[in-house]
Amino acid sequence: MIDEATAKARYWAEEPPIHAHPDAISLIQHYRPDLQDTEAMIPILKDIRLKAWKIKYYPCVGLWQFFKFGMTEMSIYPEIIERLKQGQRILDMGCFMGFDGRKLIVDGAPSEGITNMDLEDRWFPLSYDLFKDEDQFKGEFFGGCDINDEGLFGEGSIHRHRYDMIYIGYFIHLFPPHKQAHIINSLIQMLKPDSGSMMFGNTAGTAKENGYRMKADFAPPVRNEKGEMERPDFVFHSTKTIVDLLSEAVKEEKDKEWEYTANKAVFDTDTSPTKTFALHFKDAEIVELNFCMKRK
Ligand SMILES: C[S@@+](CC[C@H](N)C(=O)[O-])C[C@H]1O[C@@H](n2cnc3c(N)ncnc32)[C@H](O)[C@@H]1O
């Protein structure tokens, strides 16, 4: 983990970009009838965001990227809502404060079908401070869940083969490139082994055809083959390399019949305004990358 000053120089925007994200504002207004005035919202948002930042200096926290609902930009969004209305269940893995689940509810999904899960459970009380929906939410929050831990998804786990849909928003790029196929495979173990079950999400992508690798400055150093400590690799996937990754992840499975889609969208520069950020990633040709794998 980098120190706070370096993280702040690169990944910190003081003011919430509320004008660029009317969806996030209407979400808060929906849950907080007492908080309709956007100006009055700002100090509350800044206070909650600062508490989240002190837990972990994630770029998506410092740069307010959690204000963006990645799922709503996917063409399958109406299908997701429809399936939830029919009683299916979605797992939002790496849910952070559960913004995406709350957006699904506002867009018509019953809260009963929503499972939020994260390694870190200290995000959840912060989300209740903001949305004040503890009494209405009938879904689930599971904290302390590490996708690296086989107990989470292996034989005997309550999460094994439980979910119709799994969403991973800004999640897969947190893991070193050589471990990502294994992580995807672990997530798939939580999906129902039925036709139509699907896992989808978004990640930091690149417009370069074969992806782009650089050293991750936000992850703890790891020992390389020569025994030296170095920053782990960070990969920006392309539409091609993400599909390669998803298919690699299930190639040993008996059931290999999947449909893959991936597309890129413009990276939202409203939430990445720092010059140091732009300089650090200048060669990456960053795009937003959306992907989906669905069982045939
Ligand atoms: C970059 S945030 C993405 C938040 C949200 N999904 C979004 O799209 O804005 C990554 C989230 O993954 C969680 N996370 C990190 N490592 C994890 C792990 N090994 N297992 C489960 N969750 C993890 C973090 O606590 C954090 O909430």
Q: Which tens digits make up the pLDDT trace of 227-257?
A: 888 878 889 999 999 999 999 999 988 776 9
**CA 185 to the chain's CA centroid:** 17
CB 210 within 8 A of CB 178: no
**What does CATH list as the number for 75-295?**
3.40.50.150
Which helix (H) or strand (E) is 132 found in, with range?
Answer: none
Q: What pLDDT, on a 0 to 100 scale, did the predictor assign at position 276?
A: 64
CB 219 within 8 A of CB 234: yes
Report the chain's terminal Cα–Cα distance, integer Å. Answer: 40
For the chain, state the CA radius of gyration: 19
Q: What pLDDT, on a 0 to 100 scale, did the predictor assign at position 219?
A: 65
155 three-state secondary structure = coil
Q: Name the residue of 67, 171, 234 whose CB sits within 8 Å of the most ligand 1 atoms, as the mutation to test its pocket.
A: 171
Q: What pLDDT, on a 0 to 100 scale, did the predictor assign at position 1?
A: 59
Low-confidence ranges of the chain (pLDDT < 50): none
pTM of this prediction? 0.94
Look up residue 178 and give its two tokens. Answer: 């050589």
How many whole angstroms from 172 Cα to the centroid of ligand 1?
9
How many whole angstroms from 269 Cα to the centroid of ligand 1?
21
The strand pairing partners of 215, in sequence order, are 233
Look up residue 63 and give its two tokens. Answer: 């740069």
**Helices 123-131 and 38-55 sit at what angle, rounded to 10 degrees?**
170
How many whole angstroms from 82 Cα to the centroid of ligand 1?
26
Q: Which of 249, 169, 177, 260 is nearest to 212 (CA)?
A: 177
DSSP H stretches of helix in the chain = 4-11, 22-31, 38-55, 59-62, 77-85, 99-106, 123-131, 180-188, 239-249, 275-280
Is residue 291 lining ligand 1, measured as CB closer than 6 Å? no
Q: What pLDDT, on a 0 to 100 scale, did the predictor assign at position 98?
A: 96
